[in-house]
Each structure stands twice: as structure tokens, then as C-alpha cells.
Structure 1
Amino acid sequence: MSDFLTTFTTDLKDNLAGFIGVSVTEIKTGMSFASLSVDPNFDPELASAYNLEVVKAKFNALKALGLDQKIDDILITLSNQIHIIDLSDNGEYFVYLAVDSSKVNLGMARATLKKYSKDIAGKL
């Protein structure tokens, strides 16, 4: 893993209350470039593989609807977790983040993720 990705995943873990896991995945290939989890039962790479299908479905939906829009992020709210799929500015990568919803608010999670992920496309 590159130093940038090691720093990226560690910074999220250290600076986001309720952090569960994160991964960085290339959309074209489905390859995960980095992942980190504080829960041994939570595999962010596996979650990213399934969430890649969510991203592709959303791209297909935009195309079918004739919407010329860029996806910033996709939010999935579970009973006790928040999952955010944040797409890079160039649309080639996504960051998948899972947090404990009882320990963080959505606005803080999104802002922190944006802060740390803004350089992903330029660094990979």
C-alpha cells in the first residue's frame, strides 16, 4: 500500500468517531487499493465488492434517466451504522466508509471523509 493510502486510512480511523472500516476501490477493475477495519468481523474489501455493484447501478440509472449528473456520494443508513460511498472527482475510484451511527453524526462523517479523500484521484 502506498504511503498516501496508509496515511489516508489511518487518518480516517484516528479522526473519525465511530470508525468501523474504510476501503479505496477502483471502479473499472473492482480492485481494492487499501482497506482498514477496527472490527475483525467487518471486511471492508468484501463490502466494497458489493458496493461496486451499487455504484454501477447508479451510473446505469443516471444514463437510463438521461441525467447529466455527477455522483458525489451514496449514503446507506442501517439501523446502527452509516455507510458512505464517496466517488473521486474523476469518477474512477470510490472510498467506502462505515461508521457507528451512535458515535458520529452524518454531517461530521461526510465532512471528514471529504477532507481526507479530496486528493485520491491525483495520488493513485
Structure 2
Amino acid sequence: MKIDEALRGAMAVDGALGIALVDYQSGMVLGQQGGNALLDLEVAGAVNTDVVRAKLRAIETMQLEEVIEDILITLGSQYHIIMPLDRHTPDEKLFLYLVLDRSRANLALARHQLRRLEQAITV
């Protein structure tokens, strides 16, 4: 499935406000759906690369043999889910970034749907 098609499908998640596929080496957004004037996915994607990098450094520093499944940031009115893609290649360092309206979202279902989306994306 192509990126845009897959991301459009993700917007069907209850409460979805926006989703982006981000390269965390460069901070570039490779695809996006949704967003608005208050949710600039280009800026959010770039800034959240620092979150992913920081967590990866922490895992390395603590010598944990673990991978990040997802990172959840809970705000007063929103959930932000960052899910690195498991691409098994060292040159593809991508993550999905989903923003949900907390009052309408089912967090468990959204995480499940993100995992399914990860498998469907072809870059």
C-alpha cells in the first residue's frame, strides 16, 4: 500500500486529528494527512525526531537490548503516539506520528490500528 493511501486510512481511527510518516534521521515528513492551523504536522514531525533520538540514546546508554514499540504523550485534550517502524534496514529510520482527540479516541484500538498500518506501508 502506498504511503498516502495508508495514511488516509489511518484518519478513520476514532478521534484522529492528523498523522504523519517521518524520517527521524532528517526530521522530514514523508507523508501526512489531517492537521490544521493549530496542528502543523511538518513542525511536529521535525520536533518529535528529537524525542525518538533521545529515547534511543537513553536505551543505548542504559545498555538495554530493547526496541521502542511506541511512545505515548498524553496532553489535556490529545494523545500523541510515536511509533517507530520496524523496517529491518539500517538506512530506513521512520516513525508514524498520530495525534488523537482524547475525548473521542480509543487508545488501545488506535495503537492496534497503527501496528496494522505499519505493516501496510511501502516506501
> What is the TM-score with the length of structure 2 in the denominator?
0.89
- 1:49 Cα deviation from its structure 2 partner: 0.8
Higher helix share: 1
Q: 1:6 aligns with which of 4, 7, 17?
A: 4
Q: Distance in 2 between matches of 1:12 and 1:31?
A: 19
* 1:19-41 CA-partner distances (Å, limit 9, x unpaired): 11111011222221001225332
Matches for 1:53-64 after TM superposition, within 5 Å: 53-64=50-61
Encode CA deviations 1:60-109: one digit per residue, 9 max, x unaligned. Answer: 00011011111111110111100000111137100000000110121011
**Map of 1:1-124 to 2, 5 A cutoff?**
4-13=2-11, 15-90=12-87, 92-120=93-121, 123-124=122-123
Residues matched between the structures, number: 119
Give the counterpart letter for 2:4 in structure 1.
Answer: T
- Say if 1:19 and 1:38, in contact at 8 Å, map to a contact too: no
Q: What is the DSSP-based 3-state SS (H/G/I as helix, E as strand, rest coil) of the residue aligned with 1:45?
A: helix
2:19–2:35 contact (8 Å) kept in structure 1: no
Q: Which has the higher contact order (CA 8 A, sep 6+)?
A: 2
Over the aligned positions, Cα root-mean-square deviation in angstroms equals: 1.5
Gaps of 5+ in 2: none
Stretches of structure 1 lacking an aligned partner (at least 5 in a row): none
Taking every aligned residue pair, what percent have the same amino acid on both sides?
32
Q: TM-score, normalised by structure 1?
A: 0.88
What is the Cα deviation at residue 48 of structure 1?
0.9
- Over 6 Å off, 4+ runs: none
